[in-house]
């Protein structure tokens, strides 16, 4: 297994507090393997190579990569995003919208954000997005008070 895939496996293990290379069928470990295969697949690593990371064949790696978006919990999606940021992975290569499984509006927004460089994205988050979300939360609290 290549150095990058070793780092990716360690990132997945660390983020999800599992060991994907150990045998077992616990759901947390299986979903972590799915995350690993999903990212490896998006970055054009073959299923035979990614399957070897946890002693499985290529068919299992293909299955894991294809089914990750359907079974990912918020914990796995957060780990996915953390790994992308930690490793500085190319956002234009990764299909963030597929993981999020949201509306066409969400897909459009994610695609626009994926084109931004990391420093602009951090600026947008801290100066625009966080401010907007705080304001939205206050408006929702206000509406709740009025309707109660």
Would you list the domain boundaries of the chain?
3-102, 116-148
Please say whether the structural domain 3-102 has been given the CATH code 3.40.50.300.
no
Q: Which of 81, 33, 42 is nearest to 61 (CA)?
A: 33
Q: What is the pLDDT of residue 98?
A: 46
| Chain-centre distance for alpha carbon 61 | 17
Q: Mind listing the pLDDT tens digit for each residue in 6-44?
A: 999 999 999 999 999 998 999 999 999 999 999 999 888
Residue 57 confidence (pLDDT) above 70: yes
Q: Mind listing the pLDDT tens digit for each residue in 93-133?
A: 665 544 545 546 667 788 888 899 989 999 999 999 999 88
* Confidence band of 71 (pLDDT split at 50, 70, 90): confident
- Gap between the Cα atoms of 70 and 131, Å rounded: 31
**Higher pLDDT, residue 100 or 59:** 59
CB 34 within 8 Å of CB 101? no
As a three-state string, the secondary structure of 73-129 is CHHHHHHHHHHHHHHCCCCCCCCHHHHHCCCHHHHHHHHHHHCCCHHHHHHHHHHHH
86-108 b/e with 16+ CB inside 10 Å = b?
eeebebeebbbbebbeeeeeebe
- Gap between the Cα atoms of 32 and 100, Å rounded: 16
């Amino acid at each position: 297994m290549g150095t990058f895939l070793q780092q990716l496996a360690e990132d997945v293990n660390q983020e999800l507090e599992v060991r994907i290379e150990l045998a077992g069928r616990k759901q947390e470990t299986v979903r972590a393997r799915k995350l690993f295969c999903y990212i490896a697949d998006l970055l054009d690593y073959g299923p035979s190579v990614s399957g070897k990371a946890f002693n499985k064949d290529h068919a299992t790696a293909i299955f894991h990569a294809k089914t990750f978006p359907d079974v990912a919990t918020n914990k796995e999606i957060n780990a996915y995003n953390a790994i992308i940021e930690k490793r500085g992975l190319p956002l234009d290569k990764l299909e963030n919208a597929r993981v999020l499984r949201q509306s066409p509006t969400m897909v459009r927004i994610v695609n626009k954000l994926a084109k931004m460089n990391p420093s602009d994205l951090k600026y947008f988050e801290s100066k625009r997005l966080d401010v907007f979300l705080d304001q939205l939360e206050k408006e929702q609290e206000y509406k709740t008070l009025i309707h109660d």
